[in-house]
Amino acid sequence: MVAWRHETERGQAAPEGADPFVGRVGRLAEDPASTAQGRPDRLARLLSWFAAPPSLGALVIALFLCLPIPLLSALAPRAAVNYTLHDVFIPIDAAWRSLQGQRPHFDFYTPIGAVYFWLHGAAAWLWGMDARVVIWASLLALPLILILGAVLAWRRLGTLSAVLLMLMLTALVAAPTFIDGPPFLVAHLANYNRLGWALASLVCLWALCAARRESRGWNVAETLAIGGVLFLLFYLKLTYFLYSVGVLAIGCVVTRGLWRRAVLALVACAAGGIVLELLQPGLFGAYRADVARAAAANTVLMRGYAVERAIEYNATLGLLACLLVGLALWLLPARRLAILGVAAAAAGSVLLATQNWGGFAPPLVVLLMILAEWLPQGAGPSRADTRAALLTLGVGTAVLATLPFVLTQANGTLNHVVLARGGAGGGHRVDDGSTETFRNMRWYTNSFERYEFPKDFDAEEARRWGLKPQSDAMQAVLADGYGLIARLGVQRARIENIAFSNPFPAGLRWPSPRGVALWWDVDRTFVPGKLAPEQVLGDADVVMVPKVWQDIANSTALEAVVHPALEAGFAPYESRYWTAWVRR
């Protein structure tokens, strides 16, 4: 950068393809007027580095900074959980079903697409059926996302924004924490949302920010890669695919020459779908039926709490986006359509956040970075002071939009490592050591969740569990369930759990029941009045009904649906916290 500045000062042309604005910012260091105004040479140099296209050295720095979170996650000896303890069984059940050769939408009901099961099945196949599969599955996806993110960012963003974007993608994909809660909440839940947000963010960058330099080879490679991203999004979670297609439509209007590449990307996506359909005939129709079933069941789609949560978690970035959009509309009248397109994509990302558990919308960060890249162009060639001020605003925007999230996720990762290594009293081994699958998982307590107790529980027990850590209660319930199954004397039985999630098949490494749901969530994945008993029971040999469980409302609703069928075809066996119904 310094050599370039000296060349331009001697009157020679800047290198072909270089951004002349960067050279102008660099010359601020030698501008007498700016010196007279007291602008330090070091600030000008720093601003020029932030604005410059990223170098290979910046890529090395970015990768070095990205290492700690995935490295700490990969080396954790256990998977620790202290929030939504019941949710962790969903990815483990997904991995176990994949190892058995079960296919989503054919063998069990799930509104989440096949990519989720491929990822967890691959992690279990590579490293074994272990509770840490919830960590390894996310780490498997990280290299693909970082490689594509580096290519897109290095061709479009300045050095600082590109490095920060790599950090955000790493934290988004690899951190084993609650995505937008405080860092002491450790929960390996719904990583399809993390992956969906990351991939959709890359689509935003590709569609709404043109590359600095045209290159036919790179353009084709990026287009095919985005086609692959769209394919993965479609078979991961449909809402992220629809959002990304909407962003592509905006890009076709506001980004010059994008529509041809967007069509090619969609063709590549469709080609992937055709190949998959040939390999698994009927998958598309089965997936569509499961998504339609979930959509019909979801009665809380736009409830007030979801909208309020999305607005709350995105309030700071939303206000910053409004500021930058207004400033860009004033400074860049020739690019008003593109700026409005970015604003529409930002609003769409917040709307999408209302459909997911966790309201933070990561595409907002990318869209803010795009606006920060554009702003200095509105200062004109002779307004060095204005350009420097806008560049400073852009630097502050990139830092403010990215670092709080990255630092929170890094803090949460450290907290997970402490818990995984036995901190905070060592936690409670899931199911009291009854199975090998959960040998490397520990449960801990937080102050946010409490249990609902059935009416027949005596006051002494309810009071004891109300004062004791909740992980004690959950661990005692699960251990009692495994003990009841052992007393039944059944072997390799297909076990269904009438609750949110099912820990038994993967825990025992027995066959999973077919014809049931991966998880049950009342008014989100099922409506009791529209559910048939055979959809709940499937081909299960044993049906476990908990008396205590997280989200006990799901169990209550499901039991009301299946109770007549259980009495007709199953025999009940009781324990303190469970009723096991064994098929006659």
Query: In this structure, is residue 485 part of a structural domain?
Result: yes
Q: Please tell me the distance from the alpha carbon of residue 152 to that of residue 465, in angstroms, as a whole number.
A: 52
Q: Are residues 462 and 362 part of one domain? A: no
Q: What pLDDT, on a 0 to 100 scale, did the predictor assign at position 328?
A: 93
- Of 132, 147, 356, 128, residue with least CA distance to 236: 356
Half-sphere exposure of 444 (CA within 13 A, CB side): 23
Q: Are residues 364 and 228 part of one domain? A: yes
- Of 121, 163, 83, residue with least CA distance to 471: 83
Q: Are residues 467 and 397 part of one domain? A: no
Half-sphere exposure of 174 (CA within 13 A, CB side): 30
Q: What pLDDT, on a 0 to 100 scale, did the predictor assign at position 436?
A: 85
Query: In this structure, is residue 348 part of a structural domain?
Result: yes
Q: What pLDDT, on a 0 to 100 scale, did the predictor assign at position 502?
A: 96
Question: CA of 513: how far to CAs of 100, 190, 416, 505, in Å?
Answer: 11, 22, 32, 8
> Is the model's pLDDT at 134 over the cut of 90?
yes
**Which structural domain, as residue segments, surrounds residue 45?**
2-51
In the chain, the amino acid numbered 422 is G
Alpha-helical segments (H) within 209-299: 216-234, 238-254, 258-279, 283-297
Q: Please tell me the distance from the alpha carbon of residue 143 to that of residue 414, in angstroms, as a whole number.
A: 21
Which of 46-50, 387-391, 466-470 has the highest mean predicted lDDT (pLDDT)?
Answer: 387-391
Residue predicted with more confidence, 194 or 387: 194
What tokens appear for 274 in the block?
């055709």
pLDDT digits (tens, 9 = 90+) for 18-75: 444 344 334 433 444 444 444 556 776 777 778 788 999 999 999 999 999 999 999 9
Q: Please tell me the distance from the alpha carbon of residue 397 to that of residue 276, in angstroms, as a whole number.
A: 42
Q: Please tell me the distance from the alpha carbon of residue 506 to that of residue 92, in angstroms, as a whole number.
A: 7
pLDDT digits (tens, 9 = 90+) for 286-322: 999 999 999 888 776 555 567 778 888 888 999 999 9
3-class state of residue 570 by DSSP: strand
Q: What pLDDT, on a 0 to 100 scale, did the predictor assign at position 20?
A: 40
Q: What pLDDT, on a 0 to 100 scale, did the predictor assign at position 464?
A: 65
> Is the model's pLDDT at 278 over the cut of 70?
yes
Q: What share of the chain is helix, strand, coil (3-state, %, to 5)?
A: 65, 5, 30
Query: In this structure, is residue 426 part of a structural domain?
Result: no
Confidence of residue 399 (pLDDT cuts 50, 70, 90): very high
Give me the count of residues in the chain.
Answer: 584
Q: What pLDDT, on a 0 to 100 scale, did the predictor assign at position 15?
A: 44
CA dihedral sign, ordered 542, 547, 549, 551: positive
> Is the model's pLDDT at 528 over the cut of 90?
no
Q: Please tell me the distance from the alpha carbon of residue 204 to that of residue 346, in angstroms, as a whole number.
A: 10
Query: In this structure, is residue 273 part of a structural domain?
Result: yes
Q: Are residues 244 and 385 part of one domain? A: yes
Residue predicted with more confidence, 445 or 109: 109
> Is the model's pLDDT at 424 over the cut of 70?
no
User: What is the value of pTM for the model shown?
Assistant: 0.89
Q: What pLDDT, on a 0 to 100 scale, did the predictor assign at position 47?
A: 74
Q: Are residues 371 and 225 part of one domain? A: yes
Q: Are residues 27 and 74 part of one domain? A: no
Q: What pLDDT, on a 0 to 100 scale, did the predictor assign at position 241?
A: 97
Is the separation of the CB atoms in 252 and 345 below 8 Å? no
Query: In this structure, is residue 395 part of a structural domain?
Result: yes
pLDDT digits (tens, 9 = 90+) for 332-388: 999 999 999 999 999 999 999 888 766 789 999 999 999 998 988 877 666 777 878
Cβ neighbours around 521 below 10 Å, total: 18
Mean of all residue pLDDT scores within the chain: 86
3-class state of residue 496 by DSSP: strand
Q: Which of 419, 454, 474 is the last residue of a domain?
A: 419
Q: Are residues 233 and 169 part of one domain? A: yes
| Least reliable range by pLDDT among 76-85, 144-153, 164-173, 307-316 | 307-316
Q: Are residues 289 and 226 part of one domain? A: yes
Q: Please tell me the distance from the alpha carbon of residue 512 to that of residue 483, in angstroms, as a whole number.
A: 19
Q: Are residues 445 and 402 part of one domain? A: no
Q: What pLDDT, on a 0 to 100 scale, did the predictor assign at position 24?
A: 38
Residue 431 has phi, psi (to 5 degrees) of: 60, 15
Query: In this structure, is residue 235 part of a structural domain?
Result: yes
| Least reliable range by pLDDT among 169-173, 225-229, 309-313, 556-560 | 309-313
Q: What pLDDT, on a 0 to 100 scale, did the predictor assign at position 280?
A: 95
Q: What pLDDT, on a 0 to 100 scale, did the predictor assign at position 18?
A: 44
| Least reliable range by pLDDT among 81-85, 92-96, 496-500 | 81-85
**Tally of domains in the chain:** 3
Is the separation of the CB atoms in 161 and 398 below 8 Å? yes
Query: In this structure, is residue 514 part of a structural domain?
Result: yes
- Of 470, 483, 468, residue with least CA distance to 432: 483
What tokens appear for 7 in the block?
């060349």
Q: Are residues 367 and 503 part of one domain? A: no
Q: What pLDDT, on a 0 to 100 scale, did the predictor assign at position 305?
A: 66
Is the separation of the CB atoms in 546 and 498 below 8 Å? yes
Whole-number CA gyration radius for the chain? 27
CA dihedral sign, ordered 171, 172, 175, 180: positive
Beta bridge partners of 581: 543, 572
Is the separation of the CB atoms in 544 and 578 below 8 Å? yes
Is the separation of the CB atoms in 58 and 153 below 8 Å? no
Is the separation of the CB atoms in 533 and 553 below 8 Å? no
What tokens appear for 312 in the block?
């709350």
Query: In this structure, is residue 213 part of a structural domain?
Result: yes
Instruction: For the chain, report the end-to-end CA distance as a whole number of angstroms.
Output: 79
How much of the chain, in percent, has pLDDT values that exceed 70?
86
Residue 227 has phi, psi (to 5 degrees) of: -60, -40
Q: Are residues 65 and 26 part of one domain? A: no
Q: Which of 34, 51, 68 is the last residue of a domain?
A: 51
Beta bridge partners of 104: 108
Q: Are residues 378 and 247 part of one domain? A: yes
Q: What pLDDT, on a 0 to 100 scale, did the predictor assign at position 386?
A: 81
